[in-house]
């Protein structure tokens, strides 16, 4: 069950509304919330007691309990009764939500807005809202046309705040998935983006100041074509309202530090390329364009192109960044200077030798160590325990932090921030039993005590992990264990 509790993408929420009223609005893809009955109109056979998933009442009740636990916990953490509006994706029918809220959450005042679409599996989006905070003025369904089988519609809820009388328009999305390949399925999400943009434009035509919130599972990233080009998002409210028509490609002067071990001296050379880029393209797109159109000998690492694999960390205008998540417009210059990660030995051009980095990583035993028997399913962890390690689990091992650290530059044996963060991730994991072993490995002047809290690592981390805070927690732990 994926637990993603974020409003993925929000636009146009007026300052006044945001400042004067505080709402708790949450979206959650609850992943296959099916009842146990075979509905002949839907492709839900696997979610029955005799189906592939052996989906029994007992298992459904367990899922309800888990969902209720998380929703209650969100409310507790936000000092609220329950979310004022909660959007759900992947729900088979309205009675399921009714049962969840009445029997398991025991929330009074909550009303459901459900829409049954033509999706072949029969999983849909729905809102549950607090009728003491909002009144539903209208619900509208926005169809998404795709070329093969029908997909989920987009649901628009027009709510009125009962205290201040503000109108809030919430679009709830569950765009077509990437099953079958990201590229092959991209057109389906582009179609959803077009439908959504059209609905937003119609709304803005009637009310240019409408407060609009977009949320849901887009199955694309904010930097993908569907979101950037077709939904016309830039993260800026003005831009979303205006659209892309005024955006012109920029002329860029890109200087790249090159090194070819077969011909260049150890210092390498600098080579400048003139190219054009849309401000919403990424530095990785710029590098690709140079490689594909001007100089095929240019070498750099990349893989996922979505800030997940950590392959393309490099120095861009003096800062360690991931090329695939750095937008040209955010460089705030028409000159780009791209170098390999500093302090690393260069293999070719922007490709550095990561072996020392991985060797240090291995030193801290970066895996779960426990004598507990292997459970049948997952190793469960209480949400409070998980919270302690959650930030540290977001590391994608790109190395931007370690290669930005003066202690790493001056002492090649220093473990570095990434390895120490990984040590933290397991030392503070309630399911792990090898904390003492790891603390011994890092409690020395090639480990923890070589960190002088310079904070370069925090600034460099593309995942915005406060690495120094985690290293300080490790230092405290070492001291506490001694006294």
Report if residue 351 touches ligand FES, rule: CB under 6 A: no
Comparing CB distances to ligand FES, the nearer of 14 and 302 is 302
Comparing CB distances to ligand FES, the nearer of 211 and 285 is 285
Comparing CB distances to ligand SF4, the nearer of 30 and 418 is 418
Name which of ligand FES, ligand SF4, none residue 388 binds, using a CB cut-off of 5 to 8 Å depending on partner kind: none
Alpha-carbon dihedral sign for residues 18, 125, 1, 181: negative
Chosen residue from 228, 284, 344, 401 binding ligand SF4 by CB under 6 A: 401
Stretch that binds ligand FES, among 34-42, 191-199, 306-314, 381-389 (CB under 6 A): 306-314
Report if residue 434 touches ligand FES, rule: CB under 6 A: no
Chosen residue from 311, 402, 404, 468 binding ligand FES by CB under 6 A: 311
Report if residue 396 touches ligand SF4, rule: CB under 6 A: yes
Report if residue 301 touches ligand SF4, rule: CB under 6 A: no
Name which of ligand SF4, ligand FES, none residue 136 binds, using a CB cut-off of 5 to 8 Å depending on partner kind: none
Comparing CB distances to ligand FES, the nearer of 128 and 305 is 305
Report if residue 307 touches ligand SF4, rule: CB under 6 A: no
Report if residue 305 touches ligand FES, rule: CB under 6 A: yes
Chosen residue from 467, 468, 471, 474 binding ligand SF4 by CB under 6 A: 467
Comparing CB distances to ligand FES, the nearer of 324 and 441 is 324
The count of other CB atoms within 10 Å of the CB of residue 119 is: 20
Q: Calculate Rg over the CA atoms of the chain.
A: 25
Report if residue 395 touches ligand SF4, rule: CB under 6 A: yes
Chosen residue from 336, 465, 471, 474 binding ligand SF4 by CB under 6 A: 465
Chosen residue from 14, 140, 329, 463 binding ligand SF4 by CB under 6 A: 463
Q: Give the CA distances from residue 173 to residues 9, 126, 129, 187, 320, in Å, rounded to whole numbers and listed in that order.
A: 11, 9, 16, 16, 34
Is there a contact between 447 and 379 (Cβ–Cβ < 8 Å)?
Answer: no
Report, in Å, the least distance between residue 461 CB and ligand FES.
13
The Cα–Cα gap between 75 and 368 comes to 31
Stretch that binds ligand SF4, among 75-83, 221-229, 443-451, 463-471 (CB under 6 A): 463-471
Report if residue 323 touches ligand SF4, rule: CB under 6 A: no
Stretch that binds ligand SF4, among 28-36, 177-185, 213-221, 393-401 (CB under 6 A): 393-401
Retrieve residue 210's tokens.
């409408």
Chosen residue from 142, 214, 418, 420 binding ligand SF4 by CB under 6 A: 418
Report if residue 346 touches ligand SF4, rule: CB under 6 A: no
Residues that bind ligand SF4 (CB under 6 A): 310, 395-401, 417-418, 421, 460-463, 465, 467
Residues that bind ligand FES (CB under 6 A): 302-305, 307-312, 322, 324
């Amino acid at each position: 069950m994926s637990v993603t509790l974020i409003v993925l993408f929000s636009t146009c929420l007026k300052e006044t509304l945001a400042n004067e009223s505080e709402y708790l609005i949450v979206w959650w893809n609850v992943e296959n919330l099916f009842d146990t009955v075979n509905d002949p109109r839907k492709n839900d056979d696997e979610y029955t007691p005799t189906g592939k998933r052996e989906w029994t009442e007992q298992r459904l009740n367990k899922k309800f309990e888990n969902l209720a636990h998380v929703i209650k916990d969100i409310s507790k953490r936000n000092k609220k009764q329950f979310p004022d509006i909660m959007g759900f994706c992947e729900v088979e029918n309205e009675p399921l939500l009714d049962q969840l809220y009445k029997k398991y959450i025991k929330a009074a005042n909550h009303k459901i807005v459900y829409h049954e679409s033509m999706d072949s599996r029969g999983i849909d989006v729905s809102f549950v809202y607090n009728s003491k905070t909002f009144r539903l003025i209208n619900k509208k369904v926005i169809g998404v046309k795709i070329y093969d089988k029908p997909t989920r519609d987009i649901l628009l809820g027009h709510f009125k705040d009962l205290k201040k009388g503000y109108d809030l328009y919430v679009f709830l999305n569950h765009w077509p998935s990437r099953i079958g390949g990201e590229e092959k399925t991209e057109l389906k999400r582009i179609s959803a983006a077009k439908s959504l943009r059209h609905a937003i434009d119609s709304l803005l035509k009637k009310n240019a100041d409408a407060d609009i919130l977009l949320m849901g599972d887009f199955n694309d990233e904010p930097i993908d074509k569907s979101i950037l080009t077709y939904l016309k998002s830039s993260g800026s409210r003005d831009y979303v309202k205006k659209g892309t028509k005024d955006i012109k490609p920029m002329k860029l002067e890109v200087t790249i530090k090159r090194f070819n071990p077969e011909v260049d001296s150890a210092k390498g050379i600098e080579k400048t390329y003139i190219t054009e880029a849309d401000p919403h393209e990424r530095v990785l797109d710029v590098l690709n364009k140079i490689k594909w159109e001007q100089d095929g000998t240019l070498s750099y690492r990349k893989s996922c192109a979505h800030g997940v694999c950590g392959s393309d960390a490099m120095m861009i205008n003096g800062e360690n960044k991931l090329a695939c998540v750095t937008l040209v417009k955010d460089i705030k210059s028409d000159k780009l200077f791209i170098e390999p990660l500093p302090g690393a030995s260069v293999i070719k051009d922007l490709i550095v030798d990561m072996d020392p980095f991985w060797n240090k990583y291995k030193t801290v035993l970066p895996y779960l160590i426990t004598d507990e028997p292997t459970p049948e399913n997952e190793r469960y962890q209480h949400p409070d325990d998980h919270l302690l390690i959650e930030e540290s689990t977001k590391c994608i091992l790109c190395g931007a932090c370690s290669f930005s650290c003066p202690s790493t530059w001056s002492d090649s044996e220093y473990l570095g921030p990434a390895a120490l963060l990984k040590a933290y991730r397991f030392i503070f994991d309630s399911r792990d039993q090898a904390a003492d072993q790891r603390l011994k490995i890092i409690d020395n002047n090639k480990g923890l005590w070589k960190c002088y809290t310079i904070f370069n690592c925090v600034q460099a981390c593309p995942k915005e992990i406060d690495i120094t805070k985690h290293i300080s927690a490790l230092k405290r732990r070492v001291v506490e264990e001694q006294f």
